[in-house]
Amino acid sequence: MKPSAPLHIRHARPEDAELIAQLIKELAVYEKLENEAVAAPEILKKNLFGERPAAEVLLAEWESETAGFALFFHNFSTFVGKPGLYLEDIFVRERFRGQGIGKALMMELVQIARQRGCGRMEWAVLHWNPARKFYEKLGAVPMSDWVVYRLTEDKMQRLQ
């Protein structure tokens, strides 16, 4: 399904920090992780648009209303010898689902990855998330041999 003319995808700007924080909160509610979403607009502004941006955000607008977002950054594959595009989060607000917005965001990310010479795109998905079927239709495959590990900020502080 190809989205119609009312859809516009753009790169976020510093003045979008509050909107991005709101979208992150909505995503956290969807993922049942509300307590983990602590990113405040000023933190996002510094880390997304500051001296050394750590990630980028695409905003999807449907008839001038924010419909969703994708937050991504670059990683590097030692085996491929090229940068990769890592999709940290993609989210479409419930009332906008079924319009092709998620697919349009993914296709925009694919274009960015191609333009930047990326060797691959990767992302993690919760086991229960029905979007897994959507990703597999695009040709993505789950990496079942790999286990994701995480050190949180407080755990890193303890490793002195």
The set of catalytic residues is 135
Do residues 90 and 105 touch, judged by C-beta distance below 8 A? yes
Q: What are phi and psi of 147, to 5 degrees?
A: -120, 130
Do residues 70 and 15 touch, judged by C-beta distance below 8 A? no
Tokens of 120: 């691959």
Q: Is the dihedral of CA 22, 27, 32, 38 positive or negative?
A: negative
Q: Letter for the amino acid at 32?
A: K
Q: What are phi and psi of 134, to 5 degrees?
A: -60, -45
Going from the C-alpha of 56 to that of each of 46, 65, 105, 127, 132, the distances in angstroms are 12, 20, 13, 25, 23
